[in-house]
Structures are given as structure tokens and as C-alpha cells.
Amino acid sequence: MTGGLLDFFTLEASEYVEQLDALVSRATTQAPDAESFGRTVRALRGAATMAKVGGIAELSAGLERLAKQVKDGDLAWDATSRGVAISTIDDAKILLRAVRSWTPAEDARVASRVSELERVAPKREGITPIRTGIEYLAAATANAAAALLEYAENAGSPQQFAQVMDKVRALRGVAALKDLPPLGEVVDAVDAAAKPIELGQEDATAERRRLFRSAARVLLEGGDAVRLGGVPPTDSVAVREFAHASATLGSSAGHGDDVVPIASLLLGDADAVQAAANPPTTAAQRFRLEVVSQAEHLRRLVHDGRVAADAATRDRLSRELRGAVRALARAAQSFGAIEIANLFLAAERGAAALEPGALDVLDRGALLLSATDASPETIAPQFVTLSESLSHGPTRVTPSDAITATPARSATPARPATPVRPPSPVRGVTPVRPTTPIPAGTGSVAPSGAALRNLLGAGLAGLDPLNDQRLAEPVVGDEDDVIPIEELIFRGKDALTRAVALSDALRRSNAAPDPDTLAELYDLLQLAAAE
């Protein structure tokens, strides 16, 4: 056990022992407050278990059993029971001063006091299989919590970490885990955070150690509640700390690669890419192949978001819903389905907040995509209606969130043929710039079919003389005009100034900071420190 962990345990356990001493000292004729006494002695036992101070954990367990029997009316609070409780607390004070130099004398003191506790408050007989399963779950969570906390304080070899993860993953074999939120969420989050370490891609960063530390507290807290016949708390301080650590780790993980149209990679020669004369699938078929699985995944997340109760689950679903909605918006935009993309972009903020109205609209939109064989043009009016219904709820469609498009769209485009303006706050939605505006006088409806081909042919033919006579000679830029990329990013004092301004904005805002803003703040601090 590391010195830092023992120091923390000594301070924490001393505070718990003093609280227990005050509760028992005041309880002269009546038993101490059962809720306060039980909560404090459980906290003491949990801290001792994580710090692997077995003697104090045994004393705490016996004292906890005495308190429970008094509460249930199986044991009277009299001079005998009160005297045993006071003696146990006094021994705990003595043992705390010896945690760094534990000897057989301390073991003998623990054994004597535990024997006395068992005489006054004997262990219950007749343990049922159900009770055995509960005890196993409580013991398994305590072992996993202790291993996680030890690794968070003193990250060791890959072999040590493998042993830690074996204890954590052993909890997956408990069938009741999925019915005891947030324990299942904690195990999943620890498993995901452990993968880069196990694969050798990353070391145990400060963010990951913080996640492991907070996860250990949630596991121990939940195991204690289960052992006493209750359910794990879903909104405790430990759960909120875990949710924040998980969100911080998720925001620092970065973003996936953006998908961009291939035409945007060409240097003005759009004819270098041509659509196949007889493509194996139509645009509508490719659209369905792209979005059906995403829509079904979104519906599952919406269902989970409706029933999520604990903070850890809601935080995870908020991030996953935001990512799923953005992915569907990008897929719809790449096929020119602007109305569909607009709906998902408008619902993103509400989805991240798990607003019931936004979740209902997303569920109906995802159902339209996954359950029908219609083309995007056919179901576009229904998505417009859904967007209008969403605009009357808590999340409104603003002009900066919407994607605009001209009224006409080719029936089977190889790539979006209409001008598209993406929303500025959303990453990964690549703008497709209009190249040639439709001239006035062609009517209120844009030309299509043969008329459109004639119009484009005439327009391009008019540019042929430029091949023979240029309007001006090409201008070659000076090498001095090349701007280093370092000049385009914040560094040193500029990064620190920007970080301070961003922090002030977060303090003035009543809303919780979104992961993108936190990621920018962390990047700015790293750039400032690197100078």
C-alpha cells in the first residue's frame, strides 16, 4: 500500500471515528440515530477495505452488525451494548495510529474485540442462497474497488493491470448487475478506459486514473447498499464525480475523421470524377444502406435515454446520442437529403439533454428511415413536419442550425448537386459550395432534365474562348506569402488569454459546459504550457 493512500485513509477514517464517537457518547439512554450511525460506520468499513487495512474493516463490520440489530429491535441498547460500541471505537482510534507499523499485537487487539462483538451481536444463522449471492456481489465489488484504487494511486506493470481488470470484469458474470444501476455503467466505462492501456496505445493518464478512482468509490458504495438489502444510490457525490470524470475522459478522446465529398479534394477539375453510366445501386438504395443501421442504433439509444435514471448512465447516453444524431445528419447531407439533415441537427441539443420532446421526434424520424423503403425525396415532407413540431418545443430550429438548399435536386445524383450551407456549431458537416447560380428569368422553378443540360452546356461553351485568349496572365505567389501553420493557432500567452476568456464565459453561463467547449479549453491550456 502506497504512503499517499495510507495518508488519505488515515485522515478520512479519523473523521469517521470521531463522528461515531460523538454519536455514541450522546446516546446514553436511547440508541444513536440509526441512519447517521449506519452511514458513518459503512463509510469507515469501505475506506478500510479500499486501503486494505483488514483489522479496522473487521471492527467496522462487527460494529455495523451491532447497530443493525439495535435498529431491527433484535438487540437492546443498554449498558452492555453501549460499552462494547465505545470500546470498539476506542480500539479503532488506537489502530489508526498503527496502520504504518502493524504488528501481531494489533492483530490480537482486533481478534479480541471482534470476539466480544460476536458475543453481544452474533452473526445471523440460516444464510439463504439469495443472501449468499448478495454477499458475493458485495465482496466482488469491494475487491474490484480496492484493486482499481490501488492502481489509480500507484500504476504498475501491465501484468498488475491485467489482474485489476480481471477483478473488474468478474462482475460481468453477476446476472443482477444490469438491474443495479449505476454498477453496470461503471464496469462498462472502466472496461472502455482500460482498452488503450491494455493495447499499449496509452499509459495510465491522469484522466484515466481519476476515472478509476471515482469508479472504485461508486462500486464500493453500491456493493454496501446491496449487501444491506437496498439498491445502489444513483445521485450520490461519488456517482456525480464518476460522471464528471467519464465526461472529461470522453471529451479528451478526440473526434473521428470527418467525411468530405471527393469533389472538395479536386483543384477545380470537377470533370475528373464522373458518375457510372449503369451504377449497381440507385442513390435511394445507397441511402438506405447507409442510414438504416444508424437509425436502428439511434432508436435503441432513445429508448435507453427515456428510462435512464442515474447520472452515469445519463451522461454516457448524452454523449452517444449526440454522436449518433451528428452521424445521421452527415449521412443525410451527403445524399442531398437536406430536410432530413435539418431535423437531426435541430434535435441534437435536445437529444444531448435527454429532453422527452426531442427524444420522441428522433424516435419517429429514425423509424421513418428504418421502416420504409421510400426515397429521401418521398419522406422529406414528413421530416419537415417533424422539424416544425420540434420548433414549438424546448429545442428550436435557428437559422444558424438549418441547412439551406435550392428547390431543385437531381433524382439520382452522384454527389449533392444543390448548394448546401452547413451549421457553424456542428463539426464534421462539410460545406458544398454553389458554383454556378441559376440565372434570373428561368422561372420560379429551377430547370431540370434536358433544360438543365442545355443550360449547363451553353454556359460552359461560352468559356471556350478563354483557352485561346486569357484575361490576365497567371500570378505566381511569392514564397513570403506562405504562412506557417503555427501562426494560425494560439500559443503561449495568446492561448492563456483565450483560455481565461473561455473560462469567464463558462462561469457566466448557467448551463453545463458541453464536451466541445471543455476540449477547447484543455487544448488551450496545453498550448499555453508548451510555450
Write the pLDDT tens digit of every residue in 371-429.
Answer: 777 778 888 888 888 888 876 554 444 434 444 443 333 333 444 444 444 444 444 44
Asked if residue 153 is part of any domain, the answer here is yes
> What's the CATH code of the domain at 107?
1.20.120.160
Domain boundary residue, one of 87, 120, 153: 120
Q: Does residue 361 surpass a pLDDT of 70?
A: yes
The answer to whether residues 25 and 56 belong to one domain is yes
- Using left for φ > 0, alpha for ψ between -120 and 50, and beta otherwise, residue 119 falls in alpha
The answer to whether residues 109 and 10 belong to one domain is yes
> What is the per-residue pLDDT across 18-27, written as a single tens digit (0 to 9) for each?
999 999 999 8
The answer to whether residues 110 and 137 belong to one domain is no
Q: What interhelical angle do 54-72 and 34-50 show, nearest 10? A: 160
CA 475-478-481 angle, 5° bins = 115
Convert 298-326 to b/e letters by CB count within 10 Å (16 or more is b): bbebbebbeebebbbbbbbbbbbbbbbbb
Asked if residue 313 is part of any domain, the answer here is no
| C-alpha to C-alpha distance for 37 and 56, rounded to whole angstroms | 16
Which range, of 77-81, 329-333, 406-410, averages the lowest pLDDT? 406-410
The answer to whether residues 214 and 234 belong to one domain is yes
The answer to whether residues 51 and 154 belong to one domain is no
> What is the per-residue pLDDT across 84-132, written as a single tens digit (0 to 9) for each?
999 999 999 999 998 888 999 999 999 999 999 999 988 765 444 445 5
The answer to whether residues 164 and 85 belong to one domain is no
Cell of 101: 507499523
Q: What is the pLDDT of residue 110?
A: 92
Query: What whole-number percentage of the chain has pLDDT above 90?
Result: 10
Q: What is the pLDDT of residue 465?
A: 58
The answer to whether residues 105 and 185 belong to one domain is no
3-state secondary structure of 233: coil
The answer to whether residues 15 and 104 belong to one domain is yes
Asked if residue 448 is part of any domain, the answer here is no
Q: Does residue 353 surpass a pLDDT of 50?
A: yes
> What is the per-residue pLDDT across 44-77, written as a single tens digit (0 to 9) for each?
988 888 788 889 989 998 998 998 888 888 889 9
Asked if residue 424 is part of any domain, the answer here is no
| C-alpha to C-alpha distance for 468 and 471, rounded to whole angstroms | 10
CA distances from 3 to 6, 95, 530 (A): 5, 17, 31
Q: What is the DSSP string of 124-193?
A: PS---HHHHHHHHHHHHHHHHHHHHHHHHHS---HHHHHHHHHHHHGGGG-GGGGGSTTHHHHHHHHHHH
Q: Does residue 328 surpass a pLDDT of 80?
A: yes
Q: Read off the pLDDT band of 459 (50, 70, 90).
A: low
Average the pLDDT over 455-466 and give the result: 56
Domain boundary residue, one of 207, 232, 251: 251
> What is the per-residue pLDDT across 123-149, written as a single tens digit (0 to 9) for each?
765 444 445 567 778 888 888 888 898
The answer to whether residues 32 and 78 belong to one domain is yes
Please tell me which residue, 78 or 257, carries the higher pLDDT value: 78
Q: In which domain, by residue range, is 216 found?
A: 129-251
The answer to whether residues 141 and 77 belong to one domain is no
Asked if residue 201 is part of any domain, the answer here is yes
Domain boundary residue, one of 213, 233, 251: 251
| C-alpha to C-alpha distance for 206 and 211, rounded to whole angstroms | 9
Q: With beta carbons less than 8 A apart as the criterion, state whether 64 and 42 touch.
A: yes
Q: What is the pLDDT of residue 429?
A: 42
Asked if residue 310 is part of any domain, the answer here is no
CA distances from 31 to 36, 44, 92 (A): 11, 20, 20
Put simply, whether the predicted model's pTM sits higher than 0.75 gets the answer: no
Nearest to 354 by CA among 194, 168, 512: 512
3-state secondary structure of 203: coil
Mean pLDDT over all residues of the chain?
A: 75
Q: Does residue 252 surpass a pLDDT of 90?
A: no
| C-alpha to C-alpha distance for 382 and 378, rounded to whole angstroms | 9
Asked if residue 62 is part of any domain, the answer here is yes
> What is the per-residue pLDDT across 190-246, written as a single tens digit (0 to 9) for each?
888 888 888 888 888 888 888 899 998 888 888 888 877 778 888 888 888 888 888
Number of domains the chain is built from: 3
Please tell me which residue, 449 or 524, carries the higher pLDDT value: 524
The answer to whether residues 134 and 168 belong to one domain is yes
Contacts of 155 (CB under 8 A, 6+ apart): 161, 203, 204, 209
Asked if residue 307 is part of any domain, the answer here is no
The 3-state secondary structure of 40-79 reads: HHHHHHHHHHHCCCHHHHHHHHHHHHHHHHHHHCCCCCCH
Q: What is the pLDDT of residue 234?
A: 80
Alpha helices in 255-375 (DSSP H): 283-307, 311-334, 338-352, 356-371
The answer to whether residues 116 and 135 belong to one domain is no
